[in-house]
Structure 1
């Protein structure tokens, strides 16, 4: 019984994370390649994963990426008003983390460590630890 509940919880977390991530990608107007690369998935896997009922597995790294990206989205919403909160990730940024790159490109290039740095950076901007 406990294994069934655990498996259900994992599927539920995965489904919620994928749906939330897909919504973030839509709000940020990311293209297929940006969305799949940011999540560390192939284009074909991302196409399948964003549909309801996806039965594939996600690695811990992928789940952490999705969680951090959703946190970035929330931080941007708290710190900036629209449209900047929706455009921030895709606008060039001269800050030290980005060196003129768009944050989305820096995050894809730097992988999970860079994604987590962006999350920490935004949390600090809004007064977090």
Structure 2
């Protein structure tokens, strides 16, 4: 009788991406910032909402938008970016029309939103709610 493993097996020299390594964060930051700026623009969210979702100050957000920011995102900020990009992608797979970009700004009765917009729920709930939102969209796509 074979035993099931707890998770995927990694190749001998591979590692799980944790965003903990500074070199990885520097390498990923530019693409992550560009993607999040596009997501927030597509959703029609405000600068204050974009800054809150990414976990940066509004002045840093403004510098990012203007292309005048050369820092690197923290582990938490890259996790936020990953969740937002995943929500965006999932919505575009779920909806074949403009609803994909309208949905985050609409009040929602889903169990994790409590009649808030998904944007507001993710701002208030931080990384855990952002990940839950991504999982919720993935579950909807899977027909659960």
Does TM, scored on the shorter chain, surpass 0.5?
A: yes
Higher helix share: 1
1:43 is aligned to 58
Pick the structure with greater CA Rg: 2
Residue aligned with 1:77, SS: helix
Q: CA deviation at 1:110?
A: 0.2
Aligned pair partner of 1:71 in 79, 83, 86: 86
Alignment pair present for 1:19 and 2:34 = yes
Structure 1 position 7, deviation (Å): 6.9
Q: Distance in 1 between matches of 2:121 and 2:99?
A: 18
- Runs of 5+ unmatched residues, structure 2: 1-20
User: Which sections of structure 1, spanning at least 5 residues, go unmatched?
Assistant: 1-5
1:111 to 1:100, Cα distance in 2 relative to 1, 3 A: same
Where 1:100 maps in the other structure, the secondary structure is coil
Aligned mates of 1:62, 1:112 — CA distance in 2 = 9
Write out per-residue CA displacement over residues 74-110 of structure 1, whole angstroms, 9 at most, x where no aligned residue.
Answer: 0000001221101000000011111111010000000
1:89 aligns with 2:104: yes
Partner residue of 2:119? 104
Give me the TM-score of the superposition, normalised by structure 2. Answer: 0.79
1:29 paired to 2:44: yes
Match in the other structure for 1:3:
none
Over the residues paired in the alignment, what is the CA RMSD in angstroms? 2.0
Q: Separation in 1 of the partners of 2:66 and 2:132? A: 29
